[in-house]
Structure 1
């Protein structure tokens, strides 16, 4: 009688196993080793979306002041960008992959730290914070690049800090936020393309720091 044995894992399965091992290792470094009292205080605040409300408010006030009624399509599509990124991540990716968050992972029990009051019950992949913030950062950078120039890159640093905080506090793996960032850039680029194709603010005239020539 031939002995029945489980089939050897294929290349794809081995690759996923290696990536998962690396993800766990980097997560534990960020969550338990590269830590300190200041980080333990700052990171839960940094990843709280309410912390960034003043930045959004300032941005919308700036756009309204500069472009008047032409700011309305920008605000609407910026809002749609947030809705799109959140739904794609939360409704599709989290439900499809069903990855357990590190704060709920049995293999990490007793090792991982959770710096929040509770561990969210939703899936871990992808990080909706990462998708949302990178999507909005991409939309803002592309649509307002003629006015912000290289300073617009700061929106990506802001999104990256939030992603790092998600890992630091123990609710996401590095792979969750990295893939979420890529997804956010793609979705934000798509909504920015729509805005520039059908609305746009136009290009700032050379030497003119206060006015633009919007096109509709």
Structure 2
């Protein structure tokens, strides 16, 4: 059973890594998964949260940072060392077939910390703002999913890695957002 799941994971990996290969994605996907690409967005979230909601906005930023910190630590420092899954681009049985579009690095693969962190951010913000801004759900999910899928496309993660990362990050983001809402409910008025 486990062997069949691993085989399916590898098939899905190559369907994305090779099967979706095209010049537009070759250009776009490395940019999407680059941590520096999103710094302006993170700064905008901080600026607007504090500008619009004052002290509650400051606490929102703090709780969002807590959410990402827990997600990042849990993924990178607890789960990756526990599972020790090698990245596809470093897997001796697969690496000759993998199209590596970014440097592989020596890190481990399971779960994807990019997916964990970005889904924690997205679900935190979705939970806080979904009643105020209806497009928050679709925008947040597409944003986080595109970063996660880019990890597979560039050759550094398997689909199971991003799926588990997305679920873990979503759980953490939702939980911390609910904790924030319990103490600092934002007005849903414009």
The one of 25, 29, 32 aligned to 1:43? 29
**Structure 1 ranges of 4+ moved more than 3 A:** none
- Aligned partners of 2:169, 2:95: CA distance in 1, in Å? 30
Aligned to 1:106: 92
1:111-133 superposed Cα distances (whole Å, 9 cap, x missing partner): 101111x2121210000000000
Aligned to 1:77: 63
TM-score (norm 1): 0.84
1:8-61 superposed Cα distances (whole Å, 9 cap, x missing partner): xxxxxxx21111000101111111121011111111111001111122222222
Aligned to 2:176: 191
RMSD of aligned Cα (Å): 1.2
Deviates more, 1:24-33 or 1:52-61: 52-61
Aligned to 2:5: 19
Q: Does 1:129 align with 2:103?
A: no
Q: Residue 3 of structure 2: SS of its match in structure 1?
A: helix
Segments of 5+ residues of structure 2 without an aligned counterpart are none
Segments of 5+ residues of structure 1 without an aligned counterpart are 1-14, 210-216
Aligned to 1:29: 15
